[in-house]
Amino acid sequence: MTKSYDFDVLVIGAGPGGYHAAIRAAQLGLKVACAERESVGGVCLNVGCIPTKALLHAGEQVAAARHAADFGLTFSGQTLDIAKLNGWKDGIVKKLTGGVGALFKANKVTHLQGQASFVDDHTVQVGDKTYTAANFIIATGSEPAKLPGLDVDQQVIVDSTGALVMPDPVPARMLCVGGGVIGFEFAHVYTNMGAQVKVIEFLPTIIPGADADAVKAFQKSMEKQGIKIATQTKANRAEKKADGVHVELEDVKTGAKTTEVFDRVLVAVGRRPRTDGLNAQAAGVTVTDRGFIPADKKQRTNVSHIYSIGDVASNPMLAHKAMKEGLVAAEVIAGKPAEQDAVAIPGVVYTSPELAWVGLTEQEARDKGYEVKTGNFPFSASGRAMTLQQTDGFVKMVVEKDTDLLLGVHIVGPHASDMLGEAGLALEMAATATDIALTIHAHPTLGESVLEAAEAVHKQAIHIMNR
């Protein structure tokens, strides 16, 4: 690598993808800088995964306090201090973003504060300085998509960033526009905090990309907990009035319009890649009409020394995908044989129960030409789930019929996200359902349900009748 550049690698963006790329590149002996115009840690740490999970945990504790009456624990005079809740959440964010900064220092990654803008294919401007680099990694992320007619003011009409600040008092009536992961996580938070929440989704089903049976069980549980769900429904416009936000809703099948009043409206209709200010054209980097900067399996853009990772590169827009792609880009630059070759990228909705999946859905597997068999194990038959008061949901396993090769695992249930690690490893290692069934799982644990689902594939589960 030529020594005439300021850096071997300059990473643009310090979100999950960017900081993974910067740290791995530094570990491999490269001279690295990472430019960030906002806060280190990006969306995930600052206004995404982490603060949402903090609120979800708090909401679950509120709900758990209610359910504790089942075994005789009752509270009196309990209060929820909203200011303290927001402060606690912000403290976690601060600790983690500070941690990323410390990791930069420890790995000798130069942190450049400011918007990085390409001058040419080896030069960027950050603030009033220019820096040259042999390679660039674009990790500029994404931002909430807007919806015409619903102008986000971050007070009463909010996007996911505004929704992270719990108002005091908790809104009585809340509308979540968009029945995807973000919409349902906030619906769950606000429901547990005492709001009456309605979720509307334009498409016929919620949580696109998830297995149909899993979505059905998930929806049933969400409705049981009081969340109203309307599919094939859209929000045309919202008007702020003294008594709340008047939202015109339309049934997209019949065209029937109704107006409902809410105290808070969340717009969560997807995210779009963010390339504003980057001036990618100065480097000759292709940006698609939808704003993506596409990359190949080695995360290279059309300009071979410029890489693109995470949300700005492609869907799905998930932190762990960005992290992996950051590592791949850094390793490719360092001359390693890396490639984004993951068999599966897990997806999780962190509600209670969680909805989590990895690999192919039953339908996807059939569409790809696999002959499949499936096995289900319900948490209602799990001793551990009973002791946790969380028996909604199941583990569903999708397997290739002739070879018994695992194709996908879909879980609705408590701690589904943590059970996904085993399923992901099994998929990557090309495990068969038999391999999983022959693995001793600790008893009593929720993870045993994965073993039992594998047994159910062979109609030999022990704790349920096999049909």
Q: Which residues bind other proteins (CB under 8 A)?
A: 337-339, 341, 343, 360, 368-370, 400, 403-405, 407, 427-430, 432
Closer by beta carbon to other proteins, 6 or else 364 = 364
ω into residue 208 within 30 of 0, thus cis? no
Of residues 156, 225, 159, the one with CA closest to residue 192: 225
The catalytically annotated residue of 57, 415, 443, 458 is 443
Closer by beta carbon to other proteins, 84 or else 401 = 401
Question: Quick one: which H or E segment has residue 134?
Answer: strand 129-138
Q: Give me the least distance between CB of 344 and other proteins, in Å please.
A: 8
Half-sphere exposure of 37 (CA within 13 A, CB side): 15
Closer by beta carbon to other proteins, 77 or else 337 = 337
Sequence-separated (6 or more) residues with CB below 8 Å from residue 62: 80, 192, 193, 194
**Residue 41 is encoded by which pair of tokens?**
């840690």
Q: Give me the least distance between CB of 305 and other proteins, in Å please.
A: 20
ω into residue 273 within 30 of 0, thus cis? no
Q: What is the DSSP string of 378-432?
A: EGGG-HHHHHTT----EEEEEEETTT-BEEEEEEEETTHHHHHHHHHHHHHTT-B
Of residues 139, 142, 417, 141, the one with CA closest to residue 270: 142
Q: Give me the least distance between CB of 402 and other proteins, in Å please.
A: 9
Rounded to 10°, the helix 319-333/16-27 angle is 30
Closer by beta carbon to other proteins, 32 or else 338 = 338
Report CA-CA distances (Å) from 76 to 61, 65, 114, 340: 15, 11, 50, 53
Residue with tokens 């709900």: 63
Residue 135 near residue 307, CB atoms below 8 Å = yes
Q: Give me the least distance between CB of 435 and other proteins, in Å please.
A: 9
CA–CA distance, 12 with 6 (Å, rounded to integer): 15
Q: Give me the least distance between CB of 342 and other proteins, in Å please.
A: 8
Q: Give me the least distance between CB of 430 and other proteins, in Å please.
A: 4
Closer by beta carbon to other proteins, 1 or else 438 = 438
Q: Give me the least distance between CB of 205 and other proteins, in Å please.
A: 23
Q: Is 443 annotated as catalytic?
A: yes
CA–CA distance, 449 with 32 (Å, rounded to integer): 45
The answer to whether the Cα torsion of 50, 51, 55, 61 is positive or negative is positive
Closer by beta carbon to other proteins, 133 or else 406 = 406
Closer by beta carbon to other proteins, 28 or else 381 = 28
The residues carrying an active-site annotation are 443
